[in-house]
Amino acid sequence: MRPRLLLAPAGHGKTQFVIEQIRATLASEPLSPVIVIVPNSIQAAGFRQRLCAAGGALGVDVHTFHTLYAELLTRAGQPIPLLLDPVRIRLLRDIVDDLCERGAMTHFAALRDKPGFIALLRNTIEELKRARIFPNDFSASVKGLGSRLEEISIVYTVYQEWLQKQNWADNEGRGWLAAIALESNPTLFADTRLLAVSGFDEFNPTQLAVLSLFANRAKETIITLTGDIQNPNRSAHHRFHRAQQAITSSLSIQPEAMDSSSMLSADIANVEASLFENQQSSIVNPKSEIEFIEAQTRAVEARAALRWVKARVVRDGMKLSDVAILARDLEPYRPFIEETAAEFGIPLRIVGGQPLNENPAIAALLALLSLPAEDWSRRALIESWRSPYFDFSEYGINSTSAATLDEISRVGRVSQGLSQWREAFAMWEKRKVTEFDEDLPTLDSKVFAEHTGSARLSNLQSQETLESAFNSFVDLLTPPNRASIKEYVAFVESLIGDDMTSPNENGLNVVVNARANQSTLERDVAALSAFKDILRGLVLAESVLENDSLAYADFYKDLRGAVESATYTIPAESGVFVASALDGRGLSFEAIVLMGLSEGEFPKQEREDILLRESDRAALNLETKLHGDEATFFYQAITRGRQRLLLTHPYLAEDGQAWEPSPFWAEIRRLNVGSLEVRVRGDAGGVDPAEAASKVEWVESAQDFDIHIKNGIEVLRARMNPKASGIYEGELFDLSERFGAGHGWSASRLESYGTCPFEFFVAYALGLEPRTPLEEGFDVRMLGSMLHKILEEVYATDDPLKNLQERARKVFESAPGDYGFRPTALWELQKVELTRVLEKTIRALDEASQGLAPFRMEARFGMGEPSLVLNTSAGEVRLHGYIDRLDAAPDGSLRVIDYKAGSAPISSNHLKEGRRLQLPIYALAARDALGLGEVSSGFYWHIQKAEASSLKLEKFEGGVKAAFETAIKHIGAHVAGIRAGHFEPKAPEEGCPSYCPAVGFCWRKK
Ligand code: SF4
C-alpha cells in the first residue's frame, strides 16, 4: 500500500488518530509488528503512555530515528558500537590537540582550550553527517575557501577515519549504515504491518532516506504532519510546509487532509485558526480559557504562573501531568520556577535536566578535587572543610576546624600554595595576640581572652592538632603527579567512598552524607549518579583512545569540562511538565502556561552559525540556519493546551527598565480582545488570602497579622525613623555585672563607645571582627605597629636620625613574620618610602620639641603596673594602656604624645563630644598611676603628615585641667551607658569606619 501523508492543523487529534489506527490494526491482526517513529525520547515516552492508556501497547515498538537505526543494524546482523558523547568529545579534543601540535591547525589553535569549542565542532560534524555530506566531498568543496573551512574538513576526515578504523559509529553514521542495510537487504523489516510517523516538523536527508526505503516495504505507512490542505501557505505552518515538501518529494506522494475536527476549546481553537492570518477573531465574547498576566519581574512571573497551575489542579481537578509550563528559553526561569514550586508543594518534571555543575554536592566535590590541581586555594580548601558532604572525622577535622583554619589563613595572608599554608601555621602563634588589640601587644592570648571576656580564642582548635589534621588532609588529597585516567578515576572514587546508607571507613562518605538530608536526598543522589557516569565515560574514552598518562591538572580540566556540559534528572513519577517551547512540541496537555512573552525573548533572534556561516552554507548547498521558524514555534506552543492557556511576560527588565511585550503577545491580544490583562506587582500583599498558594503567601497576604508580624512592623518602623531611639535601637538589659567595678578599660574602647555605642557593642561585647577580603601586603594596623616600633627604638638611642636607617631596616626585615603579612612586589619601595616618612617626622618632631627631651617610651599602666583609677559619675573606673611617648620640659613638667599612623584630623571638638579620650587619659595615667609628674601639654602626632593634631591639651578651652574634667565626665557617662545596656547606633558624621564590624548589617550605616 502506498504511504499516506495526512495533514491536519494543530490540536486536531493527529496522535489520537495514529493510536486508533494502531488499535484497529492490532484488533484485526493481533501481535502483528507495528513500528512508530517520533522525533525524540520525550515524545516517545508520551506516546507510549497514551498508547497504554488507550489499551494497545502490546507488540508496538516506539522509536526515535536513532533507536530505529540501532534496531535496523541489529536485525541486519551488523550491530555496531555507538560512540558515546564523552568519548566523542575526548576523541575530538585529541584530534584538535594533535593537529595543533603538528602545525596542521592554525586558524582554530587559539580556540582549542576555550569552553564550548569542541562541542561546536561536534555539532558541525553532526550537521554535515545528517545532511549526508561525506568527508571527501566536504574536503573537495571547501578546498581554497580558507583555513577555517579547510581545518574543519581535516578534523571531520580524521574523525571519520578513526571511526571506520575502530569499526564504531556515531548516531548519524548508524543512520547511513541503516540506509545501506535496508537497500541491500529487501527482507529487512519487510514483515512490518504498520509504520506510523508522528509529531515531526522537519526531516533531515538521512531520515528521509531511511524512511523512504522503510515505507516502501511496510504493508501500511501513515505519516501525520501539521498542515492545512486548504491553506498551504499559512505563516504559522511555514516550518511544517518545508517538512511536507521534503516528504512528498522523497516518497513521491501527495498529502491528504485528515478527517478531523479541533479538540481545542473554543477560544484556543479560534486562536489556532486565526494566528498570523489577516482575519478578525470569530469569538465575540471570549470566555476565560485564555488568560494574560503581566508581572513585574521574572520571579514574580514564575510565582503567578505556578499559582495559576495550582489553581488548575486544586480547583479544576486536573492531574499534575495534565498541566505544563513552557518558555522559549527556560534557563532564566528555571531557578524561580524550582524555588516557587518547592514553596507551593508542586512536583515538577523538568525536561533537559538540571546543570550538573550547579548541584551543591557536585560543586563541593569539584572544589575539593580542584585543590591539588589549583595549588590549594584558600577559599576552596576552607569551604571543603565546612561542606556537609564530606566526613573528615577520621583525619581529625571537626566542626571547629574550619573556623580555626580560617583564622590561621587570615593571619598568614594565605591565598594559595602549600608553602603559604605552612608559613601561616608558623605565624599563627605569634600573630594571634597582636591581631586582636593594639593596646595589648605583649599579653598572651589567654590573658587577652580573660581580659576581654572573649571566649573566641579558647573555642578554636589547638594549633598542633590542626596542623596534623591539615597534613593528613593534604596527603589524602594528593594524587600521583602523572597517572592514567583510570587511576585518577579510582582516586576520585576512593574519595567519594562507597554508595552505602551508613558511614564506613572508606573515603569521605559523600553519598552517605547526601542521603542524610531528606529534603535534598533525591536531587543529590541523582547528581552523584550522573557524576559517576561521567567518570565511567572518561575511563571508556581512555580505553578506546589509548591515551598516555597525563598530569592531574589535565585530568581535572577534562573532568570539569565534562561536568560543565552535563545535566542530571531528578526522578519524578509525576509532576507538572516544565520545558522549553521546543521540547514541548508534539505533546498535549489540558492546560499550559507560556512564559516570557517579552520583546527579544519570543520570537528569539536567529543567529548565524559561527563555524559554518550562511555564505558557506549557500556555497555547500547546506540548509540555512536562519529559517524564520519562530512563528511556527509559537503556534506549536500555544496549541499544546486543549482547555486552558495562560500567557505571561515580565514588564520590567533586570535593570528596572520597562520591557515591552513581544509581538506574539500583541497578536493573541488582537485575536482575544475581550480578555483582560492582569498586572501583578512584586509583593504578595496584593494577593487575596483565599488565592494564596502557600503558607508563606497566606501569611504575607493576611490583613489580620499575628503578633510576630506586628512586632516585625514595629521594628521596621523604628529602624526607618531618622532618629535612633526606642527598644529596637540597641537597647539591651543591664550589663553592670559584665562591665562592673573590677572591669579594666582601655582608652580605645571608651572612644569606640563615644563614637558609636553600637559599634562598641558589636566589636567588644559580642567580640565580632570585620571580615575583609584577604589581600597581600600590610594593612593600616600593621603599618601603625611598624611605625610605632621604629619610633620607639630610635628614640631609645642618643641620635634618632642617625640610627633611623639601621633600626628601620631591622624592624622591616622581620615585619612580615612579626605582624603576619605577605610582602608584595612593592615592599622594597615601600620600605624606602616609609623610612623617608619617618625621617621627615623625626625632623618635624624635633622642631616641635625645642627645649624638651624624650623621657619615657611605651610607658605601661595597668597590666602588671599600677592602673589609673578615676572617680567618675559611674563610680571608680580602672584603666590600662600604653603611653607612646612622654617628653620632659626643663621645669620638670611632662608632655604626652600619642602617635597616629592614620591622617584623620583630630580636633578639640572630638574631646568635647567624648570621641577622643586617649590624650587626657594618658596624661592622667602619667601623673596619677605612674607618678611621673605633672603634665603641662600634649598632642596626637600624625606620623605620615609629620604634624601635630589641632587638639592640644594646653590649648583646650580651660587648659589641661578642663581637658581632664571633660574626659572624666565622658568616661563616667560612657561606662554608665555601657552598664545600662544603651547601644544605639550613631553613625559618625564623617561616615562609618570600614573597620566597624557592623558595616555589613547595620541599618544606620552611613
Ligand atoms: S556601621 Fe556605623 S552606625 Fe553602624 S555600628 Fe558601625 S559605626 Fe555605628
Higher local confidence (pLDDT), 160 or 771: 160
**What pLDDT sits at residue 452?**
39
356 secondary structure, DSSP code: G
E-strand ranges in 482-555 read: 482-483, 550-551
CA of 999 to the centre of ligand 1 (A): 6
The strands making up 677-680's β-sheet, listed across from edge to edge, are: 348-350, 576-580, 323-327, 589-595, 641-650, 290-295, 677-680
Residue found under cell 596542521: 104
Q: Which of 723, 751, 758, 984 to mutate for ligand 1's pocket (most ligand atoms within 8 Å of CB)?
A: 758
Residue found under cell 561536534: 122
Distance CA 731, CA 978 (A): 10
Q: Of the given ranges (18-22, 717-721, 854-858, 896-900), which has the lowest mean pLDDT? A: 717-721
**What pLDDT sits at residue 448?**
36
Distance CA 683, CA 675 (A): 24
Q: Of the given ranges (537-551, 742-756, 929-943), which has the lowest mean pLDDT? A: 537-551
Residue 948, beta-bridge partner list: 941
E-strand ranges in 490-637 read: 550-551, 567-568, 576-580, 589-595
Distance CA 286, CA 647 (A): 15
761 lines ligand 1 (CB under 6 A): no
The closest-lying atom of ligand 1 relative to the alpha carbon of residue 1003 is 4
771 lines ligand 1 (CB under 6 A): no
Q: Predicted confidence band at 399 (pLDDT cuts at 50, 70, 90)?
A: confident
User: What pTM, to 2 d.p., does this model score?
Assistant: 0.68
Measured at the alpha carbon of residue 395, what is the angle toward residues 392 and 401, in degrees to the nearest 5? Answer: 70
Grid cell at residue 392 = 573528615
760 lines ligand 1 (CB under 6 A): no
Distance CA 350, CA 353 (A): 6
763 lines ligand 1 (CB under 6 A): no
Q: Which of 723, 986, 990, 1001 to mutate for ligand 1's pocket (most ligand atoms within 8 Å of CB)?
A: 986
Residues 524-534: what's their mean pLDDT? 92
Residue 349, beta-bridge partner list: 577
**What pLDDT sits at residue 703?**
57
730 lines ligand 1 (CB under 6 A): no
Is there a contact between 635 and 236 (Cβ–Cβ < 8 Å)?
yes
**What pLDDT sits at residue 449?**
38
724 lines ligand 1 (CB under 6 A): no
CA of 463 to the centre of ligand 1 (A): 34
Residue 875, beta-bridge partner list: 872
Tens digits of per-residue pLDDT, 654-676? 888 999 999 999 999 888 766 67
The closest-lying atom of ligand 1 relative to the alpha carbon of residue 1004 is 3
Q: Is the pLDDT of residue 3 over 90?
A: yes
Is there a contact between 192 and 35 (Cβ–Cβ < 8 Å)?
yes
Distance CA 241, CA 343 (A): 44
Tens digits of per-residue pLDDT, 810-844? 999 999 888 878 888 899 999 999 999 999 999 99
759 lines ligand 1 (CB under 6 A): yes
Tens digits of per-residue pLDDT, 424-463? 888 776 655 444 343 433 333 333 333 333 444 445 557 7
**What pLDDT sits at residue 350?**
87
**How far out from the chain centre does Cα 5 lie?**
49
CA of 901 to the centre of ligand 1 (A): 22
Higher local confidence (pLDDT), 431 or 109: 109
**What pLDDT sits at residue 455?**
40
Q: Is the pLDDT of residue 116 over 90?
A: no
Phi, psi angle pair for 863, to nearest 5°: 50, 55
Distance CA 921, CA 221 (A): 101
Is there a contact between 329 and 640 (Cβ–Cβ < 8 Å)?
no
Residue 736: count of CB within 10 angstroms of its CB: 15
**What pLDDT sits at residue 694?**
76
Grid cell at residue 601 = 525573548
For residue 187, count CB atoms less than 10 angstroms from its CB and return exposed for 0-12, middle for 13-18, buried for 19 or more.
exposed
Cα–Cα distances in Å, from 671 out to 368, 643, 859? 56, 17, 89
Closest CA to 783 of 756, 820, 753: 820
**What pLDDT sits at residue 454?**
41
689 secondary structure, DSSP code: G
CA of 413 to the centre of ligand 1 (A): 27
Q: Is the pLDDT of residue 492 over 90?
A: yes
Is beta strand 935-942 parallel, antiparallel or unpaired with respect to 947-952? antiparallel
CA of 787 to the centre of ligand 1 (A): 28
1005 lines ligand 1 (CB under 6 A): yes
Closest CA to 809 of 766, 772, 838, 845: 838
Distance CA 663, CA 660 (A): 9
Grid cell at residue 910 = 572630638
Alpha helices for 702-761 (secondary structure H): 707-720, 747-755, 757-760
Distance CA 581, CA 453 (A): 62
**What pLDDT sits at residue 704?**
58
Q: Is the pLDDT of residue 799 over 80?
A: yes
Radius of gyration of the chain (CA): 39
Distance CA 708, CA 285 (A): 47
CA of 364 to the centre of ligand 1 (A): 35
Assign 929 to helix, strand or coil.
helix
26 lines ligand 1 (CB under 6 A): no
Is there a contact between 831 and 812 (Cβ–Cβ < 8 Å)?
yes
Residue 324: count of CB within 10 angstroms of its CB: 24
Distance CA 949, CA 98 (A): 70
Q: Is the pLDDT of residue 547 over 80?
A: no
Give the residue whose CA is nearest to atom 7 of ligand 1.
Answer: 992
**How far out from the chain centre does Cα 495 lie?**
24
CA of 998 to the centre of ligand 1 (A): 6
Share of the chain above pLDDT 70, in %: 93
Distance CA 268, CA 645 (A): 8
Assign 262 to helix, strand or coil.
coil
CA of 365 to the centre of ligand 1 (A): 39
Could you check whether the bond before residue 757 is cis, i.e. omega within 30 degrees of 0? no
625 lines ligand 1 (CB under 6 A): no
**What pLDDT sits at residue 817?**
80
Q: Which of 769, 990, 1004, 1006 to mutate for ligand 1's pocket (most ligand atoms within 8 Å of CB)?
A: 1004
Measured at the alpha carbon of residue 955, what is the angle toward residues 951 and 961, in degrees to the nearest 5? Answer: 105
Assign 348 to helix, strand or coil.
strand
Is there a contact between 264 and 272 (Cβ–Cβ < 8 Å)?
yes
CA of 772 to the centre of ligand 1 (A): 16
Mean pLDDT of all residues in the chain? 89
Q: Is the pLDDT of residue 617 over 80?
A: yes
